[in-house]
Amino acid sequence: MNALCALHHFCDLHGPQTLLCTEGRTYIQDYNDNDNEELKTYYSQFMNAKSPQEKTQCQSCTLSSEGVVITTTDYSHHMQYVSSSSTPNAELFKTIRHACVRSLTIEKPTDSEHPIVFGDDQGGYCLSFSFVCKDFYARGSQRRYSLCYLCPDKYHLLSVMCFIEKCMKQIIFWLQYDASQTYSHEEQIQVSAKRHGIITATSVRRVLPCQPVQRMLSDIVCDSKLIYRAHALFVWILRTTNSAIQESLFEALPVQERIGGVHNQQIVKYRSETTDDSTDVDNDTYNNSNSDVDDDDDDDYDSLEYHFASYGFQALRLFRKFIMKLDNLKYLHYILFNWLTGNQLIIKYQNRTEDKDFIRAFISVFRLLLPDNCCHLMETTSQIASCTANLILLDMDALVTTADDCQQYTDKYSIAIRIIFDSSDEQIHLVELETQPSEKFDRINIFPTYVKVLVDLLTDSHLDDDTLEAIIIQQKNKYLNKAKLYFQLGRCPIASFLSMNEHQQMNILKITNPNDLLIIRFWQRGLSSAYKNQIHENNCKAMNGWFQVLQEKVVFIVGAAGGIGSAICQVCVSQGARVVIADVDKVAADQLLMKLRGDNEQIADRLISLQLDVTDEQAIEKAVQAVVDKWNTISVLINLAAVFVFGEVENISAADWSRNFDVNVRGYALLVKYIAPIMKKQRSGSIIQFGSISGVVAQIPFLPYGADKAAVIQMTKNLAADLGAFNIRCNSISPGLVVTPPVVTLATANGLSIENFTHNIVKDQCLKRAALPEEIANLVVFLASDLCPFITGANIVADGGYTIV
């Protein structure tokens, strides 16, 4: 599928519904056919003949009059954009429907400031933004909507994510503003009052309707042309985002071609004299580029850019002298072939002066022949980069090198060249190819076309320097675009391009020489590496901006210093929460705080550690008050504290029963007692209590512990019923076997290693392993966040399938 935009609504009667979907279709212009009208007729007949969303249409489930289809044709990009309430494409409808349901039922609550991303490679990816609009006649005086942008490529979605978010926010602001204006007008009625003989007009609030009224969004925002405005906005978004990957194949790729001193739009193959204008441009570029080079940093080769534009035609003249000293075009073919296909090039040079501009100018020609992402300059002490061609410079005068020192950089694919020059008179005195080509390089047909063209250009004495540079850049861009196409098709699962044979690849790339594939494949690896780096940066930004699901929430964790507790603290901090580390062991709590804080003072402001004995009611009250004094609220309570008493009923003392119950049940209830009023006041909150599979199924000999955990599970359900009216969610988690310090202690007490101990327990369950604390922590974060606003009273069993077999 192509990218598409959609507007959805959660109807009180019919659930999630699609109001408008704008899809892009490939369009081939034919002046003899009236394709546009036929397409409209086809869509209209489909929507009138069927009920695509399998429900009876009502006013709130439509954006405008039934059967309206709007089309816009983009002739320049051969695209046609169709807006309707549904689509005849069954697979596409399934994708849109899935995004509609998920964006309106599973997404963040409507007060979120950022959209979310979900999807997979098969069904595509969706960027969804949920929001509400005021409506006087709706249940709760508001209706819920969502905007979605769907596309099949997650990399493309990441590259345009910031742009789409800004567009969505602007659309939402426009809709909410208009809806608020309508709400204010409908909420009040004008009445006339006579007082002291003077008639005055005043406004009074209208009584809310007893029954909600279903009506269209266009009525809510008082805009009869809403469907056309939405269509125009969606088309603009799709055209803008689609052009990001259609123009030059990749606008998102961080590839910048350095044109050099002369920017020739029309290439003249043979020109004997350089025009005055081109010379001026070249001198300006040379001066400006040289001004950026720090003369005091000559020895730092990795910081020098060696760009051809810095040295201009001086570099080409030096390179032609280098070719003359080679005295054999076979050697030039050999050098360029290895350099352009990614093999290592080692230049051992000696300069009779200390001026390094000469070697920089010479090396800049090699840089000119390759894309920026496919070459890497280094000194002998640098590490060789993977997936790039490497140019190693060995200053034989400055470095005390031996044959063994040089040998470590040489492999069977390396090309070593020895050069002696004198920069004072710009002369090259010696060029020696230390790595001799094999007999197969005697055949000219082994070389790619690009190599042959370069050799012909560099040895053509009739070409002046600016024309030579322009032709080289043109040829390089030609192969660079083929490499981009190869890279793009390789990422497209529909094309299955990489599974084709070489002949099919050559046909698509429009090349006739099979050796050209060597260059194209190497160049696309460089593009791939650069693209992955950019995606990683975008992903990090997205993680920081959109996946901080506990941003600014105050999370009170009791029993935080244990195995699962410490993992929960770490994940909560990473998700932007303010964390209260409460544990009966103050030393362990302080150590965990120091570990989480590290050297980051910003994180330190979001952490507090407390010593808390859950059997002491006064201590609980003081701890809660201390947190409220610091952060004014508590958003999430996680009851995790526990003691473990195991045995048969006749061997358990009354003190053990009391201790077990006081910590595992009574302590949980006391914490809720003092934190629930805070959550009631703010009318939001999440309480998460830890049960266990021992409270779900009978285990031997887990009698006291299992009874307590069963009590916790039932207590959580009662709390959900009591606190639900205040929008407080209460859920319990019942883990199976988790590798924590108590489990290790239990294994040791039984004379078993942790591996043997866990194996005996998990051998019969579905997943043949114990859980990690981080896996339980992720589940806690999900329940603590606003990602699941409709889950309460649930006991979520995370046991790897232990209790179902």
Q: Is the pLDDT of residue 251 over 60?
A: no
More confident residue, 548 or 610: 610
Distance CA(750)–CA(653), nearest Å, equals 22
The alpha carbon torsion through 268, 271, 273, 279 (nearest 10 deg) reads: 20
Lowest mean pLDDT among 179-193, 606-620, 695-709, 774-788: 179-193
Residue 576's pLDDT is 87
Counting runs of H as helices and runs of E as strands, what totals does the chain give?
Answer: 25, 21
Q: Is the pLDDT of residue 350 over 60?
A: yes
Q: Reduce the DSSP state of residue 187 to 3 states and report it.
A: helix
Q: Is the pLDDT of residue 798 over 90?
A: yes
In order, the DSSP letters of 555-615 are: EEEETTTSHHHHHHHHHHHHTT-EEEEEES-HHHHHHHHHHHHTT-HHHHTTEEEEE--TT
Residue 613's pLDDT is 93
What pairing do the DSSP bridges indicate for beta strands 728-735 and 685-690?
parallel
Q: Rg of the chain's alpha carbons, rounded to an integer?
A: 35
Residue 718's pLDDT is 95
Phi then psi dihedrals of residue 175, to 5 deg: -65, -45
Task: Let me know: does 389 contact 344? Beta carbons within 8 Å.
Answer: yes
In order, the DSSP letters of 737-788 are: -B--HHHHHHHHHTT--HHHHHHHHHTTSSSSSPBPHHHHHHHHHHHHSTT-
Task: Let me know: does 364 contact 380? Beta carbons within 8 Å.
Answer: no
Query: Domains along the chain?
Result: 4-186+212-246 (no CATH), 276-461 (no CATH), 548-736+773-804 (3.40.50.720), 739-770 (no CATH)
More confident residue, 347 or 211: 347
Distance CA(666)–CA(453), nearest Å, equals 84
Sheet holding 79-84, edge to edge: 70-74, 79-84, 15-26, 4-11, 142-151, 124-134, 116-120
Residue 380's pLDDT is 53
Give 531's pLDDT tier (boundaries 50, 70, 90). Answer: low
User: In 3D, which of 429, 351, 444 has the Cα closest to residue 397?
Assistant: 351
Long-range contacts of 295-303 (CB under 8 A, 24+ apart): 298/356, 301/377, 301/378, 301/379, 301/382, 301/393, 302/377, 302/378, 302/379, 302/382
Residue 566's pLDDT is 92
Give 488's pLDDT tier (boundaries 50, 70, 90). Answer: low
Task: Let me know: does 23 contact 2? Beta carbons within 8 Å.
Answer: yes
Look-up of token digits 């989480």: 596
| Assigned token pair, 123 | 């069904």
Lowest mean pLDDT among 96-100, 127-131, 140-144, 264-268: 264-268
pLDDT in tens, 711-745: 999 999 999 999 998 999 999 999 998 888 777 77
More confident residue, 44 or 153: 153
Give 379's pLDDT tier (boundaries 50, 70, 90). Answer: low
Residue 399's pLDDT is 55
Q: What is the rounded average pLDDT of the residues 456-465?
A: 84
Q: What is the rounded average pLDDT of the residues 119-124?
A: 80
pLDDT in tens, 627-674: 999 999 999 999 999 888 877 888 888 988 999 999 999 999 999 999
Q: Is the pLDDT of residue 244 over 60?
A: no
Give 471's pLDDT tier (boundaries 50, 70, 90). Answer: confident
Q: Is the pLDDT of residue 494 over 80?
A: no
What pairing do the DSSP bridges indicate for beta strands 15-26 and 70-74?
unpaired
Phi then psi dihedrals of residue 250, to 5 deg: -145, 100
Distance CA(426)–CA(431), nearest Å, equals 14
| Assigned token pair, 212 | 């909600």
Q: What is the rounded average pLDDT of the residues 445-458?
A: 86
pLDDT in tens, 145-165: 999 999 887 777 777 788 888
Distance CA(555)–CA(565), nearest Å, equals 12
Long-range contacts of 502-511 (CB under 8 A, 24+ apart): 509/482, 509/485, 510/482, 511/449, 511/482
Distance CA(557)–CA(614), nearest Å, equals 12
Distance CA(265)–CA(126), nearest Å, equals 41
More confident residue, 526 or 703: 703
Lowest mean pLDDT among 122-131, 367-376, 392-401: 392-401
Q: Is the pLDDT of residue 546 over 60?
A: no
Q: Is the pLDDT of residue 465 over 50?
A: yes
Give the chain's largest Cα–Cα span.
Answer: 116
Q: What is the rounded average pLDDT of the residues 610-624?
A: 94
pLDDT in tens, 549-573: 888 899 999 999 988 999 999 999 9
Annotation says 705 is catalytic: yes
Q: Is the pLDDT of residue 111 over 60?
A: no
Residue 248's pLDDT is 32
Distance CA(208)–CA(190), nearest Å, equals 16
Q: Reduce the DSSP state of residue 449 to 3 states and report it.
A: helix
**pLDDT averaged over every residue in the chain:** 76
Residue 532's pLDDT is 58
Instruction: Provide CB contacts within 8 A for 779, sequence distance 6+.
Output: 733, 796, 798
Distance CA(628)–CA(675), nearest Å, equals 10
Taking the CA atoms of 309, 311, 314 and 318 in sequence, report the sign of the dihedral they define. Answer: negative
Look-up of token digits 């490497």: 390
Q: What is the rounded average pLDDT of the residues 66-92?
A: 75
According to DSSP, residue 271 is labeled B
Distance CA(701)–CA(683), nearest Å, equals 42
More confident residue, 70 or 749: 70
Residue 37's pLDDT is 60
Distance CA(380)–CA(401), nearest Å, equals 10
How far from the centroid of its chain's Cα atoms is residue 52's Cα? 33
Distance CA(26)–CA(250), nearest Å, equals 19
Give 204's pLDDT tier (boundaries 50, 70, 90). Answer: low
Give 791's pLDDT tier (boundaries 50, 70, 90). Answer: very high
User: 796 - beta bridge partners?
Assistant: 733
**In Å, what is the CA distance from 430 to each residue of 332, 406, 724?**
15, 19, 87
pLDDT in tens, 12-24: 888 888 888 888 8
**In Å, what is the CA distance from 451 to each residue of 423, 431, 462, 479, 538?**
28, 20, 19, 11, 36
Task: Let me know: does 471 contact 319? Beta carbons within 8 Å.
Answer: no
Angle of the 617-631 helix axis to the 667-682 helix axis, nearest 10: 30
User: In 3D, which of 750, 758, 648 has the Cα closest to residue 701?
Assistant: 648
User: 554 - beta bridge partners?
Assistant: 578
pLDDT in tens, 750-764: 777 777 777 777 888
Q: Is the pLDDT of residue 234 over 50?
A: yes
Q: Reduce the DSSP state of residue 487 to 3 states and report it.
A: helix
In order, the DSSP letters of 644-696 are: ---B-GGG--HHHHHHHHIIIIIHHHHHHHHHHHHHHHHT-EEEEEE--GGGT
Residue 447's pLDDT is 85
Lowest mean pLDDT among 144-153, 297-306, 318-327, 467-476: 297-306
Residue 663's pLDDT is 93
Residue 401's pLDDT is 46
Most confident of 30-34, 123-127, 426-430: 123-127
Task: Let me know: does 394 contact 346? Beta carbons within 8 Å.
Answer: yes
| Assigned token pair, 470 | 């322009």
pLDDT in tens, 253-286: 333 333 333 333 333 332 233 333 333 323 333 2
Catalytic residue among 183, 668, 705, 802: 705
In order, the DSSP letters of 502-537 are: HHHHHHHHT---TTHHHHHHHHHHHHHHHHHHHHHH
pLDDT in tens, 162-203: 888 888 888 888 888 888 888 888 877 666 666 666 666 666
